């Protein structure tokens, strides 16, 4: 098999803090083209987010399996024991920003497809440079392009780091949705000694937040933990000690399961805000989704067990990922490396895990493509 660690080093070596573009995509294209992939790249949005769709076509009528992920990374931060974008092997580990989340997984995908014959079926890569950012002009723009091309996959695997203690102990079959809501209450500024001439917005906001905080959204479902509403910011911005402020604001974040939609939750919060003289402005980042346990999850679990001896837990925990968009194309599952060091200083991946992950991905792709046209997986 191709040396997956070398592939990972080549990707890590290019600084690609979100939104990513340019050299790191050049590197991935240089890996895929010799393997027979047709590569399309385009830039979207004012942030100039780069996206890549690469496809290697199998025989007419064959199944289409997609790997998906992102080449952008979070800022490295301070305190690294080595240069974040100079990959370094120390003992059994490979250090560098993106080693886990998720350049290592993309390297494993490339190594995997090199072991899958072209006549096995169609394989594609759906890769964005904006997963760690606003995610507005990344995977969503890719989905529009894929639909316009008519290259819809039958199944998709996202390489997010899902493992917790050992590689292969968990896969994600769904995610909770996410919505952020900004709350505002207007008042009338005035002197604290003359409150009858002013209108203090703070007590109204406090009562609003008290009511919102008392809401039990649900108690969870068979596959999802309970939805939760959290206060993430509270501000007045009043530098004066003797002035009643003109405005008070707060921000909420709701992570919700499949019992709700983002729009319904926004409406519910807006009604509470209006009762207390305020208003709500919202941004829905993604809806909850579930790929029900079945043939696809069993296929991935079998591949993991064959290489590790583990039977993975099927989970919907954690934050959001671009799977929240990709589920509109086809059934999607997430599986990747250990998540212990993602987004941290000295992010690192075990070299042995990279090799095992590549073999698992090879098994998944081969099996997913082997069912033939029209088969249900």
What does the pLDDT look like over 292-304, one tens digit per residue? 999 999 999 999 9
Q: Would you say residue 319 has pLDDT above 80? A: yes
**How would DSSP label each residue in 197-244?**
GSB-SHHHHHHHHHHHHT-------SSSPPPEEEEEEEE-----SSEE
By CB neighbour count within 10 A (0-12 exposed, 13-18 middle, 19+ buried), where does 270 fall? middle
> Region 29-44: what's the mean pLDDT?
97
122-128, strands of its sheet edge to edge: 38-44, 49-56, 122-128, 64-70, 155-158, 332-334, 170-172, 313-315
- Angstrom distance (rounded) from CA 314 to CA 94: 28
pLDDT tens readout for residues 127-164: 999 999 888 899 999 999 999 999 999 999 999 999 99
pLDDT tens readout for residues 234-286: 999 999 999 999 999 999 999 999 999 999 999 999 999 999 999 999 999 99
pLDDT band of 320, cuts 50, 70, 90: confident
pLDDT tens readout for residues 180-202: 999 999 999 999 999 999 999 99
- pLDDT score, position 120: 97
- pLDDT score, position 1: 66
- pLDDT score, position 104: 98
Tokens of 32: 């895929």
Q: Would you say residue 333 has pLDDT above 50? A: yes
Indicate where the chain has its CATH 3.30.70.360 domain(s): 177-286
Indicate where the chain has its CATH 3.40.630.10 domain(s): 4-175+289-370
CATH of 177-286 given 3.20.20.60, 3.40.470.10, 3.40.50.720, 3.30.70.360: 3.30.70.360
Side-chain half-sphere exposure of 186, counting CA atoms within 13 A = 3
Q: Would you say residue 376 has pLDDT above 70? A: no
Q: Which fold has domain 4-175+289-370?
A: Aminopeptidase (3.40.630)
- pLDDT score, position 46: 87
- pLDDT score, position 373: 38
Strand partners for 184: 249, 279
> Region 220-225: what's the mean pLDDT?
96
Q: Would you say residue 62 has pLDDT above 80? A: yes
pLDDT band of 338, cuts 50, 70, 90: very high
pLDDT band of 40, cuts 50, 70, 90: very high
Using the 8-state DSSP alphabet, how is residue 113 labeled? H
Mean pLDDT (the chain, rounded): 96
- Angstrom distance (rounded) from CA 173 to CA 152: 20
Q: Which of 289, 329, 368, 335 is nearest to 153 (CA)?
A: 329
Q: Which residues are catalytic?
A: 72, 131
Q: Would you say residue 212 has pLDDT above 60? A: yes
Q: Would you say residue 332 has pLDDT above 80? A: yes
């Amino acid at each position: 098999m191709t040396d997956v660690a070398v592939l990972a080093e080549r990707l890590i070596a290019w600084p690609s803090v979100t939104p990513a573009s340019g050299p790191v995509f050049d590197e991935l294209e240089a890996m895929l083209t010799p393997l027979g992939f047709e590569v399309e790249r385009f830039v979207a949005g004012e942030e100039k987010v780069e996206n890549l769709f690469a496809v290697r076509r199998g025989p007419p009528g064959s199944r289409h399996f997609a790997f998906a992920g992102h080449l952008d990374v979070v800022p490295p931060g301070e305190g690294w024991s080595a240069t974040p974008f100079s990959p370094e092997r120390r003992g059994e580990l490979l250090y560098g920003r993106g080693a886990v989340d998720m350049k290592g997984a993309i390297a494993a995908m490339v190594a995997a497809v090199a072991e899958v014959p072209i006549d096995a079926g169609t394989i594609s890569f759906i890769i964005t440079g904006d997963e760690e950012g606003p995610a507005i002009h990344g995977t969503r723009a890719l989905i529009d392009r894929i639909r316009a091309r008519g290259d819809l996959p039958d199944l998709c695997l996202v390489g997010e780091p899902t493992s917790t203690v050992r590689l292969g102990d968990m896969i994600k079959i769904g995610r909770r949705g996410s919505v952020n809501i900004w709350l505002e209450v207007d008042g009338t500024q005035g002197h604290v000694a003359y409150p009858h001439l002013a209108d203090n917005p703070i007590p109204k906001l406090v009562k609003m937040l008290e009511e919102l905080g008392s809401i039990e959204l649900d108690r969870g479902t068979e596959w999802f933990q309970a939805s939760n509403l959290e206060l993430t910011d509270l501000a007045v911005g009043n530098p004066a000690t003797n002035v009643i402020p003109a405005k008070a604001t707060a921000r909420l974040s709701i992570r919700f399961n499949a019992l709700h939609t983002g729009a319904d939750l926004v409406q519910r919060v807006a009604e509470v805000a209006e009762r207390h003289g305020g208003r709500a402005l919202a941004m829905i980042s993604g809806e909850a989704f579930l790929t029900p346990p079945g043939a696809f999850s069993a296929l991935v679990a079998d591949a993991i067990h064959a290489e590790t001896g583990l039977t993975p837990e099927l989970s919907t925990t954690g934050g959001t990922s671009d799977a929240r968009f990709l589920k509109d194309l086809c059934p999607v599952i997430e599986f990747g490396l250990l998540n212990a060091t993602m987004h941290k200083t000295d992010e690192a991946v075990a070299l042995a895990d990279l090799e095992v992950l590549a073999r698992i991905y090879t098994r998944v792709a081969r099996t997913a493509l082997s069912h033939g046209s029209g088969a249900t997986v």
